Each structure stands twice: as C-alpha cells, then as structure tokens.
C-alpha cells in the first residue's frame, strides 16, 4: 500500500519533542536500517522489546537508577516508533499489517510499563491498585486513539493524502477493501478510534460534497483547512505518548507513580472532553466558511 506521504511527518502539526528530539534521531537511523535491509516491522518489534524492558525496569522504580533506565528504554521505544514509519515510507513498504503491528507494539509497551508499576505498587498498597491501573490504561487507549485520529484527518483533508482509515470511517461500500483477518481487525480498530475521537462522519460527508461541488477551489479549501486545523492538532499533542512517558518517569522518580495513574484517569480525560467540544465547534465554523455561496 503506497501513499504520497513524505518520509518525515508534517512539521506544522508535529508535537515539539518529536519535532526537535525523537524524529531527528529516528531520521538518522532510518537510512541505516534501509541499507541493512531491516524491515519496518522488525523495527516495530525492536521498539516493543525496549518497551517490555522498560516495564521490567519500572518494577524496581524505588531505585532511582532503575527509574532512569525505564525512561531511557522508553525513549528508545519512541525512537523506534518514529523510525518504523519513516522506514516504511522510505522503502514504500506501508501495509495494513504493518499498521496493526505498530499499534500492537505501542500497546504492548505501555501494558508492560503499567504492569511493572502495578506489580510494584500492589505490594505496597494492595490488589485494588490493579483496578486503578486498568482504568488508567482504558483511558489511555481512548485518549491516544483520539489524538492519532486528529493527525489522520489533517493529512487526509489538508493534504489529500490517501488513508485507508478515512475510507473506513467514511463507510466505503463492502468489497472496497478485501476481506482478510488483518483488514477486519483494522476496520474494527479504526471505527473504535474514530468513535473515541468524536469524529463526525457527517462532517466528512459534507466536506466531501463541498470539495466536489467546487473543484476550482479545492486547493484553496485545503489551504484554509490547514490554517484552521493545524494549531488545533498541535494542541492535541498533549495527548501524545511523549508526555505520558515523561509523566511516568517524573512520578516514578519521585516515588509516587499512583499520581500519574490518577491524572491519566481524571486530568487527561477532562482535557479530552474540552478538546472534543472545541473540535465540534471548529467543524461547524469551518463548514460554514467554505460552503458554496448561495445565488
């Protein structure tokens, strides 16, 4: 599955720690992986290994050296997570299987870290900690999916870059995509993603109609979309995995990882609600601004 995406992701919506730290490192490794014939999926799995090791390190979070080791290993996962996508785009090896594997590796990383911390915390506070961590993990999944969808929407409408995900959410007729277990899993995952993100299918349909009715204005409308939504997508960056990694480390180093899980449940959820409310208002204002003038 080839796309018109560049090797590096759009800088205008990129989260600042990715833009100036994670992705520059990943960009140095990507051509080396390509030269060695390493596949993007192998890089994803390598990143997951770093993530699992981070979980082992965080089990010993009471020792500051292990807390630092957990943080460094999670940074290594972030770099691999950036490199696998760049490598896939560089070698034109994007695939639905790779997308699903990348998502699985991301979830395994955080499951490992949360499990390591939960095992340690349950020894101190009791079994109820598992319920807290499980709820935090569920909130994390919803929040992260919502953020990723904002990026996909931006690329699709702002830059007209093909997206299987957007085809799925726009309810393509059955048979548009071949029925396979991987594609069925991707379809289910995508629908859950877009539901969590508060994406309005009605917005997609209306904007598609507007673009179709004004072919001479398509470029201008897409430019207006980028101007309107790029700042919003950057604000959604607070939901990225980078800040969770930093939050886990700081709380573990301070000896209070319970505070991190509590904030993920309450703090991030409140932020998500606010972002979704603003997004719905932005959808309506944008459609009104680009709708064809009535004669």
Higher pLDDT among residues 10 and 77, named by residue:
77
Q: At what angle do helices 64-90 and 40-58 cross, to 10 degrees?
A: 170
Of the candidate ranges 92-96, 217-221, 278-282, the one whose mean pLDDT is the lowest: 92-96
- Average pLDDT for residues 26-39, to the nearest whole number? 95
Residue 178 has pLDDT above 70, yes or no: no
Phi-psi region of 92 (alpha: psi -120 to 50; beta: other; left: phi over 0): left
User: Quick check: 54 and 74 in contact, CB under 8 A?
Assistant: yes
Residue 174 has pLDDT above 60, yes or no: no
Residue 132 has pLDDT above 50, yes or no: yes
Q: For residue 211, count other CB atoms closer than 10 A to its CB.
A: 17
The pTM of this model reads 0.85
User: Quick check: 85 and 41 in contact, CB under 8 A?
Assistant: no
At residue 267 the predicted structure's pLDDT band, cuts being 50, 70 and 90, is very high
- Please provide the average confidence, as pLDDT, over all residues in the chain: 86
Q: Cα–Cα distances in Å, from 94 out to 39, 84, 97, 107, 245? A: 11, 10, 8, 20, 27
Helices (H), 126-266: 128-153, 159, 164-169, 181-196, 201-213, 218-236, 241-253, 257-265
Helix or strand run (H / E) with residue 79: helix 64-90
Of the candidate ranges 114-128, 148-162, 248-262, the one whose mean pLDDT is the lowest: 148-162
Residue 291 has pLDDT above 60, yes or no: yes
> For the chain, which domains are there?
12-290 (1.20.120.1760)
């Amino acid at each position: 599955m080839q796309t018109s995406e560049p090797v590096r992701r759009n800088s205008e919506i990129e989260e600042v720690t990715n833009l100036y730290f994670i992705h520059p490192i990943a960009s140095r490794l990507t051509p080396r992986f390509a030269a060695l014939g390493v596949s993007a999926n192998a890089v994803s799995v390598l990143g997951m290994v770093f993530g699992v090791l981070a979980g082992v390190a965080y089990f010993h979070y009471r020792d500051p050296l292990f807390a630092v080791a957990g943080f460094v290993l999670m940074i290594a996962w972030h770099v691999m997570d950036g490199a696998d996508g760049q490598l896939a785009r560089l070698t034109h090896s994007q695939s639905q299987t790779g997308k699903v594997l990348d998502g699985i590796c991301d979830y395994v990383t955080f499951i490992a870290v949360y499990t390591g911390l939960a095992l340690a915390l349950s020894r101190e506070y009791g079994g109820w900690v598992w319920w807290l961590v499980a709820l935090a993990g569920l909130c994390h999944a919803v929040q992260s999916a919502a953020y990723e969808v904002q990026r996909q929407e931006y690329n699709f409408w702002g830059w007209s870059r093909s997206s299987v995900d957007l085809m799925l959410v726009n309810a393509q007729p059955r048979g548009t995509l071949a029925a396979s277990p991987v594609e069925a899993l991707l379809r289910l995952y995508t629908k859950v993603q877009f539901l969590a993100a508060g994406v309005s299918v009605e917005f997609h349909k209306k904007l598609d109609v507007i673009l179709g009715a004004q072919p001479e204005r398509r470029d201008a409308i897409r430019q207006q979309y980028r101007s309107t939504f790029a700042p919003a997508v950057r604000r959604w960056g607070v939901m990225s995995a980078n800040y969770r990694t930093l939050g886990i480390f700081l709380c573990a180093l301070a000896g209070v990882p319970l505070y991190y899980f509590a904030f993920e449940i309450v703090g991030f959820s409140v932020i998500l609600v606010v972002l979704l409310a603003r997004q719905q208002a932005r959808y309506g204002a944008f459609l009104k601004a680009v709708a064809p003038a009535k004669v």
